[in-house]
Amino acid sequence: MLFIDKKGDISMYLEKIKIAQKNIEDIIVKTPLLYSNVFSENSNNNIYMKCENLQLTGAYKIRGALNKISLLSDEEKSRGVVCSSAGNHAQGVAYASSLIGVNSTIVMPKTTPYLKVESTKNYGGNVVLHGKCYDDAFLEAKRIENELGKVFIHPFDDIDVICGQGTIALEIFNDFKNFDYIICPIGGGGLISGISLAAKEINPNIKIIGVQAAGAASMKKSITNKAITTLDSVNTIADGIAVKTPGNLTFEIIKDLVDEIITVSENDIVETFLLLTEKHKLLAEASGVVSLAALRKLNVKNKNICCVISGGNIDMLTISSLINNGLVSKGRLFCFCLELRNVPGELLKISEILAKENANIVKLDHNQLKAINRIHNVQLEVTVETNGHEHIEQIINAFENESYSIKVLY
pLDDT tens-digit readout, 140-195: 999 999 999 999 999 999 999 999 999 999 999 999 999 999 999 999 999 999 99
Q: Note the pLDDT tens digit of each residue in 3-27.
A: 554 345 678 999 999 999 999 999 9
pLDDT computed for residue 5 by the predictor:
47
Q: Note the pLDDT tens digit of each residue in 101-129.
A: 999 999 998 988 787 899 899 999 999 99
pLDDT computed for residue 222 by the predictor:
98
Distance CA 83, CA 65 (A): 10
Distance CA 215, CA 224 (A): 16
Distance CA 161, CA 133 (A): 21
Q: Taking the mean position of all CA atoms in its chain, how far away is CA 219?
A: 15
Specify the DSSP class assigned to residue 150. P
Question: Please, which pLDDT band fits residue 374 given cuts at 50, 70 and 90?
Answer: low
Give, in words, the CATH class of 331-408: alpha beta
Assign residue 70 a region: left if phi > 0, alpha if psi is -120 to 50, beta otherwise? alpha
Contact 58, 311 (CB under 8 A): yes
How many CB atoms sit inside 10 A of residue 86's CB? 26
How many CB atoms sit inside 10 A of residue 73's CB? 9
Contact 190, 168 (CB under 8 A): no
Distance CA 53, CA 33 (A): 12
pLDDT computed for residue 6 by the predictor:
39
pLDDT computed for residue 7 by the predictor:
42
Tell me the CA distances in angstroms from 259 to 169, 196, 378, one per residue in order. Answer: 16, 10, 58
pLDDT computed for residue 385 by the predictor:
97
Query: Which has more confidence, 320 or 135?
Result: 320
Q: Note the pLDDT tens digit of each residue in 61-94.
A: 999 999 999 999 999 999 999 999 878 999 999 9
pLDDT computed for residue 85 by the predictor:
86
Specify the DSSP class assigned to residue 369. G
Domain 81-149 grouped into CATH 3.40.50.1100 = yes
Distance CA 51, CA 369 (A): 50
Q: What percent of the chain has pLDDT over 90?
A: 85
Q: What is the 3-state secondary structure (H, E, C) of 220-288?
A: HHHHHHCCCCCCCCCCCCCHHHCCCCCCHHHHHHHHHHCCEEEEECHHHHHHHHHHHHHHHCCCCCHHH
Tell me the CA distances in angstroms from 83 to 142, 323, 408, one per residue in order. Answer: 8, 32, 46
Distance CA 251, CA 259 (A): 13
Contact 82, 151 (CB under 8 A): yes
Distance CA 102, CA 272 (A): 39
Q: Is there a shared CATH topology between the 7-53+179-325 domain and the 331-408 domain?
A: no
Say if residue 329's pLDDT is above 50.
yes
* Domains of the chain by residue range: 7-53+179-325, 81-149, 331-408
Question: Please, which pLDDT band fits residue 37 given cuts at 50, 70 and 90?
Answer: very high
CATH of domain 7-53+179-325: 3.40.50.1100
Q: Note the pLDDT tens digit of each residue in 217-268.
A: 999 999 999 999 999 999 999 988 998 999 999 999 999 999 999 999 999 9
Q: Note the pLDDT tens digit of each residue in 269-286.
A: 999 999 999 999 999 999
Strand order in the sheet with 260-264: 33-36, 46-51, 304-309, 181-185, 207-213, 260-264
Say if residue 1's pLDDT is above 80.
no
Task: Give the mean pLDDT of 384-398.
Answer: 97
